Structure 1
Amino acid sequence: MEFYTARVHGFPNLTVRGLLTGGVSGEQMTQEGVLSLVVVLGSSVSLVGLVFAFITYSLFSDLRNLSGTTLMNLLAALFMAQLLYVIGVGGVQDPELCVALAFSLQYMRLTVFCWLTAMTHDMYSVFRKNVNLVPLSDPRIGSSFWKYSLFGWGTPILLLAAAIVLQLRQKGGNLLDTATLQHTNCWFLDHDAFVFGFLLPVAALLVAVIVFLARGAVVARFTVSMQVTRRARDKMRRKRHLQIFLFLKVTVLIATVAGLGALAKLTGMNAFWAAFNVGHGLQGIAVALCVACNCQVLKIYTRTLRRRRGSSRKAPTTYCAVGTSSELSKSTSLQLLTWEPTPDAV
């Protein structure tokens, strides 16, 4: 029970000593208890949801292209940020652990935004290069993925190094002075390291994401108009709009939580702290529902179930339709999923 009623910034610490000294009112106890319960339970559900979404994109071969792989990296980074966030809910007293938690959280949050930028850039590139419903195979997919990996995991290291330098300057070279860090449950660095090492880079990345989304929408509209038949235009419009709005929803969710954290850190208002805690605790499950329960992924679920039921009703056969043998030979899991050209992953 002490973990669930641990201190969350902006609310008093509900310890036995605090209760004995009469420093905590019944209303404050209720507020903190409810908020702590929402944070812990919400984070637990978010972790499970992110694992489910990650397994979904790694299990189905239809989703294991460059777009799906970048999304899996985003889910992994968000999972680590969510897990580290739970560690600081009850407050961290050890200085070394507090400093490590603050730096780790800043790195993982920067990684989330870097992979979000990589995802939207890949979407824009696919829309620009492919004007047909059937996606074209990219022989340089491995090279593109390594470039995205270097950007997604490497760029935050450089930004974190700059934040460490700023933190050292503000602390006079003593990183173990964690009084201000513990004031925010070791979730944020001090002012200069937070503003110049996190807020400004995140703002630049969000501008890039918005630009890629806008340019992708313009290119999608142009390519839809190039389709010959009305049926092809409607189908492409649905698929392109689904992917654009999916990435837009994920961007809005993640950016809103980061914005609440920035307002809470810079203003110190209890309302922003409470909103940030609730939002950060629930953002994982919200993102997981967006990426794993949209209509395109559900269509893959149902198609797989139909094929399994159909294959169980008839005896095994070696017959293979024309043009499908090469695709079947490349499948590494759930081979029946790749009997037809791989669709756009969302």
Structure 2
Amino acid sequence: MDTLYTSRLHGFPNLSKAGLEPALNEESLLSLLVVLGSSISLVALVFAFITYSLFSDLRNLSGTTLMNLLAALFMSQLLYVVGVGGVPDSELCIALAFALQYARLCIFCWMLLMTHNMHHQFKTGLHLVPITDNHIGRHFLRYSLFGWGMPLILFGASLLIQYHDKAGKLLNTATIKGQNCWFLDRNAFIYGLLAPSAILIVATFYYLVCSAVLARYIISIQADIRTREKMRRKRTLQILLFSKITIALSVVLALGAFSKLSNRSEPFWIMYNVAQGMQGFLVALLVTCNCQVLKLYTRSIKSRASRHVPCYVGTGQTSSSMNKSTSLQLLTWDPAPDSV
């Protein structure tokens, strides 16, 4: 029997008696919504990644950590949309289930690292004590080991739990195909994903609260009013940004947990799929459409416009860049034109 992915989404006809009836229309519509939402999210995540790669002001330790979060989220979105409705090959479905668990753990690890880095910046006074490149590189190496290595350890633990529960058989492919090749069995899901993710989320909120307290104290001791207001806007924007991202990712995980533990309850399953498909778009929107990034875009556009449009003074003289040239240089053609 054809899967939902082949018979509904990709247009392959189902010639069975059940396929002739207008059944599973809700599942077909849900799969289509997941594909469309995930496609939009993937494009938005690529745009956000390119944005943080272009501007040198964003390529600091905080921006690089955020780029790793976007990469892990992109991997999660891509793997999930591949398994929509299940895939015919059982081994591929099992591989997708394990890869999704690893990607989801990476997302929450990098989210924790982002808030830890923000708390470290507030604690040491980033604008008062500049950080050298070696310092940034050393911190990023530690972050990379934790952000990509810790999920690997948790992933190995979930494998052992799954192997123990199934007595040598890793997964029941008939079960995970009905879950878009996602979610391991109950114990592996709870102890391999849900419990570690909950701990990471609690630690993330802990650093958010500590950062807010530190920011309030640092702002209060500033003597200059302009500096105080500028610092308040910047710190509030950063704390609110990370809080929104953490809440959005936590809601998606909670919906998936309710759906899994309630044996794929229809309301939770629909809400989870819609949230899973749109989470990448929401995160990309939060990290790119804020005043700090928009200021960089505006500054870049103004600088490019000033390069190509010469400005003239009232006396008829050209700009300073043209004044540096002599009259003889203005009359010559350099390089010389080709002879005809």
* TM-score (ref. length: structure 1): 0.84
Distance in 1 (CA, whole Å) between partners of 2:160 and 2:70 is 29
**Matched-pair contact (CA < 8 Å) for 2:158–2:191:** yes
**How many Å apart are 1:17 and its aligned residue?**
2.4
**How many Å apart are 1:98 and its aligned residue?**
1.4
- The answer to which of 275-284 and 93-102 deviates more is 93-102
**How many Å apart are 1:275 and its aligned residue?**
0.4
**Matched-pair contact (CA < 8 Å) for 1:4–1:40:** no
In the other structure, the counterpart of 1:84 is 79
Kindly tell me: are residues 16 and 259 of structure 1, through their superposed partners in 2, closer, same or farther at Cα, counting changes over 3 Å?
farther
In the other structure, the counterpart of 1:284 is 280
**How many Å apart are 1:137 and its aligned residue?**
2.7
Counterpart residue identity of residue 83, structure 2: G
Counterpart residue identity of residue 105, structure 1: L
Aligned Cα root-mean-square deviation (Å): 2.2
Counterpart residue identity of residue 131, structure 2: S
Structure 2 unaligned spans of 5+: 311-318, 324-340
Which gives a bigger RCO, structure 1 or 2 (Cα 8 Å, sep 6+)?
A: 1
Cα deviation digits, residues 220-271 of structure 1 (max 9, x gap): 0000011111111111000000000000111111111111001100012110
Cα deviation digits, residues 155-185 of structure 1 (max 9, x gap): 0000000000011111110125422222312
Kindly tell me: are residues 5 and 291 of structure 1, through their superposed partners in 2, closer, same or farther at Cα, counting changes over 3 Å?
farther
Correspondence list, 1:235-246, <5 A: 235-246=230-241
In the other structure, the counterpart of 1:332 is none
**How many Å apart are 1:90 and its aligned residue?**
2.5
Q: Answer yes or no: is 1:17 the counterpart of 2:16.
A: yes
The structure 2 residue matched to 1:117, chosen from 100, 112, 119, is 112
Correspondence list, 1:172-211, <5 A: 172-175=167-170, 177-211=172-206
Kindly tell me: are residues 178 and 70 of structure 1, through their superposed partners in 2, closer, same or farther at Cα, counting changes over 3 Å?
same
Correspondence list, 1:123-142, <5 A: 123-130=118-125, 132=127, 136-138=130-132, 139-142=134-137
Kindly tell me: are residues 50 and 131 of structure 1, through their superposed partners in 2, closer, same or farther at Cα, counting changes over 3 Å?
closer
The structure 1 residue matched to 2:41, chosen from 22, 43, 46, is 46
The structure 2 residue matched to 1:272, chosen from 268, 289, 293, is 268
Q: 1:174 is paired with a residue of what secondary structure?
A: coil
**How many Å apart are 1:97 and its aligned residue?**
0.8
In the other structure, the counterpart of 2:28 is 33
Structure with max Cα Rg: 2
Kindly tell me: are residues 20 and 244 of structure 1, through their superposed partners in 2, closer, same or farther at Cα, counting changes over 3 Å?
closer
**Matched-pair contact (CA < 8 Å) for 2:161–2:188:** yes
**Matched-pair contact (CA < 8 Å) for 2:85–2:179:** no
Q: 1:175 is paired with a residue of what secondary structure?
A: coil
Counterpart residue identity of residue 137, structure 1: I
Counterpart residue identity of residue 221, structure 1: R
Q: 1:140 is paired with a residue of what secondary structure?
A: helix
Distance in 1 (CA, whole Å) between partners of 2:175 and 2:153 is 24
Counterpart residue identity of residue 130, structure 2: L
Correspondence list, 1:150-229, <5 A: 150-175=145-170, 177-229=172-224
Kindly tell me: are residues 20 and 81 of structure 1, through their superposed partners in 2, closer, same or farther at Cα, counting changes over 3 Å?
closer
